[in-house]
Structure 1
Amino acid sequence: METFYQPTNNGEASNRETEDIYAKMDWDKLGFDVIPTDYMYIMKSNEQDGTFSNGALVPFGTIDINPHSAVLNYGQGLFEGMKAYRTTDGEVQIFRPEENALRMRMGAERLLMPSPSVEQYVEAVKQVVRANKRWVPPHGKGALYLRPLLFGSGSVMGISPAPQCTFLIYTNPISNIYKGRTESLSLLIDNKLPRAYPGGTGGVKNIGNYAPVFQVVKEAKAKGFSDVLFLDAVEHKYIEEVSSCNAFIVKGKVISTSPTLGTILPGITRKTIIELASDLGYQVKERKISVKELLRANEVFCTGTAVGISDVGSVTYKNKCIKFKTGPDTVTQKLYDLITGIHAGLLEDKKGWIVKID
């Protein structure tokens, strides 16, 4: 494998830095801060046939990248989000990694990139978790966040896909509480700026999907809201996604979420909740949901790797604030307890979703 990474100063210095950070770790105060861990995983595609091989663990550090690279010039890149959890008996496990691998392959096809096979992806994830196992927080304190990246690292001048791509995974311990939030989400519906357009890349985890909403989310947070719930780009009346997660509504025994028809990301947590809710006897519908219908819901919640399952306490639309049921006696809490119990090994995994790291 061609070496293009550069550990901080040198491997020994980088090791000393992470040792110092680890020695000072207070798992009770864990948040969503940048925390470098020991190793990352890197694998590059073959320029001739696009296959990936010779991946390796390397010390965490900066990487060298050519200014002509397609990712820097044309945004040819994808990312995934995953977590490794520690169980009550100290074991470490990951959740449905093959689903993330399949989603990355779908995104790679959309952006004309080669991608690792499902087997290569899962094996790489297992290796990087095993190498950074000490950074998986104690049970109940958080999780080790995994960030697999796939990007056009090869050089181009004209508008074209890169001749070579890089697959990279780094890790970062994070809290169970999303960005330090201790209360239910308060969402602002934005009816001016859509998050994604038909025919665009809203249905894949493209790196370019996120920066365009920075401004509107920043403005919403300055007004006291947690995040923004975006509407469809055509009629501006159907809910789609929050900036980084899927949205669900609950009305009686019916749970609804917007369909993934190209503008909405097919979330792994979303898919899991649909299956778990169906198993519990709820009727789950993937369909268009109007703002009017949302505002009449009993409960609203969001799903995603980072947010897990987060209840929505209120939604504000055209200066009108509607509150929803939250707390222990809710469908949202029931689903939260179920999925987090599987993540942490507290409940039996009857689906074969868990992969243990030895």
Structure 2
Amino acid sequence: MKKTVNIDWAKLSFSYIKTDYRYVSRWKDGKWDDGKLTEDNKLTISEASTALHYGQQCFEGLKAYRRKDGKIQLFRPDQNAKRLNNSCKRILMPEIPEEKFIDACMQVVKANEAYVPPYGTGATLYLRPFVIGVGDNVGVKPAPEYIFCVFCVPVGPYFKSGMTPVNFTVSEYDRAAPFGTGGAKVGGNYAASLYPHELAVKRGFADCIYLDPVTHTKIEEVGAANFFGITKDDKFITPKSPSILPSITKYSLMYIAENYLDMEVEESDVLIDELDKFKEAGACGTAAVITPIGGIEYKGKLHVFHSETEVGPVTKKLYDTLYGIQFGDIQAPDGWIFEVK
């Protein structure tokens, strides 16, 4: 008999809920152990761990989706594995074999199947893989040991009241340094964004736009998400920079725009002074898929795109197509879907 859980799926938010199992693997003496599932959601680590003192840690985020036929699928976990390894390489942590990463995610989903929300609720099971440097080490150098862990949390749909545009303001702060860790998914990038985010929210904005750290003339990221704009001649444009986290959602939308919606796609500089060329704009990432941007405040002026209250038609098509692929209602490109068996 399958386990059931007493959760009101309609009231789920994006917050922590302890589920039954998580996967933990340890690296020591040059190799990873086999890893195992555990019911314990607490990690015991040395007080001298590099993750605590020098920020030697990185993480990922992906989701498991319940299809209409009741089966469960992951969306492009191989790309999360590749990105995690790029982050590990950047801060001198051992890489996770791709097969091990995907297997760990599969094990966690299967062990917590009762927490995968039903089809039609819009809710999903969010997976958080991460790697941290641990062990006794007070010097500024790579850790002697590492932990790779994957836990999961059922989360509700990002848009509780439908896909409503929100406004952003351009920050004077930098999210990442030139030639720094902006392209890696490490905690330091997010720590740097907490204060600017709070300033933006206090002024009534959803979050802030970060410009390139060298010239402060080009859009890089939108809070913790990637930016895209739709030009007046229906071209999908998104910023290109080594300081931008390579969003799997963004690259999926680029493919969908070109191959499903027959749009021209371009990764290039997006100048903050040239917002007039976009009729629609959005932020994209794992949590929301797409957050429509109503307007961007820059130098005291709010530039409004399609509308501050209604999502633009192209943005809606992009969202509906990707959402449909993720939940199994639209045929996915080869290799995008991994069924949990």
Normalising by the smaller structure, the TM-score range is over 0.9
1:74-153 equivalence runs, <5 A: 74-141=54-121, 142-153=123-134
Q: Deviations over 1:86-127 (max 9, x none)?
A: 111211111000000000111111100002100100010000
Q: Report whether the alignment pairs 1:276 with 2:259.
A: no
Q: Report whether the alignment pairs 1:66 with 2:51.
A: no
Q: Report whether the alignment pairs 1:289 with 2:270.
A: yes
Give, in whole Å, the separation in 2 of the partners of 1:353 and 1:107: 22
Give, in whole Å, the separation in 1 of the partners of 2:312 and 2:165: 14
Q: Report whether the alignment pairs 1:333 with 2:316.
A: yes
Give, in whole Å, the separation in 2 of the partners of 1:285 and 1:214: 30
Correspondence for 1:343 among 307, 311, 326: 326
**C-alpha displacement of 1:330:** 1.4
Q: Which runs of 5+ in 2 are unaligned?
A: none
Instruction: Name the residue aligned to 1:54.
Output: 34
Give 1:42's aligned amino acid: V
TM-score of the pair, normalised by structure 2: 0.94
Instruction: Name the residue aligned to 1:45.
Output: 27
Q: How many residues align?
A: 334
Instruction: Name the residue aligned to 2:291.
Output: 310
Give 1:118's aligned amino acid: E
3-state SS, counterpart of residue 301 of structure 1: strand
Give, in whole Å, the separation in 1 of the partners of 2:174 and 2:86: 23
Q: 1:181 to 1:206 in 2, by over 3 A?
A: farther
Q: What fraction of aligned residue pairs are identical, expressed as a percent?
A: 37
Is the contact made by 2:220 and 2:241 (CA closer than 8 Å) also made in structure 1? no
TM-score of the pair, normalised by structure 1: 0.90
3-state SS, counterpart of residue 240 of structure 1: strand
Q: Which runs of 5+ in 1 are unaligned?
A: 1-18
3-state SS, counterpart of residue 180 of structure 2: coil
Give, in whole Å, the separation in 1 of the partners of 2:166 and 2:66: 26
| Two-structure CA RMSD over aligned residues (Å) | 1.7
Correspondence for 1:197 among 159, 174, 177: 177
Instruction: Name the residue aligned to 2:8.
Output: 26
Q: 1:302 to 1:97 in 2, by over 3 A?
A: same
**C-alpha displacement of 1:187:** 0.8
Give 1:29's aligned amino acid: K
**C-alpha displacement of 1:307:** 2.0
Q: Report whether the alignment pairs 1:301 with 2:282.
A: yes
Instruction: Name the residue aligned to 1:35.
Output: 17
Is the contact made by 2:165 and 2:311 (CA closer than 8 Å) also made in structure 1? no
Instruction: Name the residue aligned to 1:214.
Output: 194
**C-alpha displacement of 1:264:** 0.3
Q: Deviations over 1:148-191 (max 9, x none)?
A: 0011012211100001111001111111125878621211111x
**C-alpha displacement of 1:328:** 6.1
Q: 1:150 to 1:247 in 2, by over 3 A?
A: same
Is the contact made by 2:174 and 2:213 (CA closer than 8 Å) also made in structure 1? yes
Give, in whole Å, the separation in 2 of the partners of 1:43 and 1:264: 29
Q: 1:241 to 1:42 in 2, by over 3 A?
A: same
Structure 1 residue ranges (4+ consecutive) displaced by more than 2 angstroms after TM superposition = 178-183, 326-329
Instruction: Name the residue aligned to 2:222.
Output: 242
Is the contact made by 1:149 and 1:167 (CA closer than 8 Å) also made in structure 2? yes
